[in-house]
Structure 1
């Protein structure tokens, strides 16, 4: 059965203000509304990046537990990591430049944790993609930061933007995961989740 048939009588909530996640979920043909809350995104420093992404996604979902019952809520968090060091959202120009210099001429991992909430049950998972960057010149990095202001993006870049077009050599894994939501995995996990708890 098509996922949209499963969702025909279920209201879907996306717990994210990310324009990329809104666009990706919409492209799956799913009708949804957006509700988001500001939560504390701190995490135990002993956690590996995969656990961090899932932990924060679950935090986002848990903040809605008392307000969501028959609806399906989707929460997500994306982290960028090299050698288990997590690159969050850059705080300013210098921070963004430092991150992009670190990503230049090497590979890194993009991990998105997703938490699904329905009828008091939370199911979570993560998807990992390896992104290989070519060497970026200082002028390319400066041009990108000044023109695209990537301060709302983990790792200081959006793969769908100019920097992705000129800098990404190849990726291993889901492209949409790097944008912010692993759509194929989300589609199939929602279906499975609703079969078990719908």
Structure 2
């Protein structure tokens, strides 16, 4: 089985319900086992226009599905939840991104793993760190202790304002507020 990490995000039609439904769908994927889910985080939308905030998290999945098969299954889940691809970085009911597939590096026309922008996105790094703090990315980047980002402590139900990467120039500050919902199975 391959250890995979999937980013989840939603900012339309009750986002928290959307990502929780997606977790339920991930748990039912054939030849796969859902291992962990991160807490949910609320983050400011990056895309065009005046979009609602996103709910973001990461799930760990062990699977024997091949990478492109897994991508197809993720897109089926998005479609079942009425995902419309109308605008690049536009609002969406559900976004599922395959971040990592074992230690593989994949460069296909329809799939790039590790995800091309995962190290630029605090809303991916924080929940990924929550469930896999000792993770080593392809290329030898250590998630913990890499000095690429710094996490603050958030009390249960508290707010983490101005959560930013302080050590890496490639990461722009993004305000992320911890959600009261923890999203754990």
Same fold (TM over 0.5): no
TM-score (norm 1): 0.29
Q: Higher RCO, 1 or 2 (CA under 8 Å, sep at least 6)?
A: 2
Q: Which has the higher helix share?
A: 1
TM-score (norm 2): 0.31
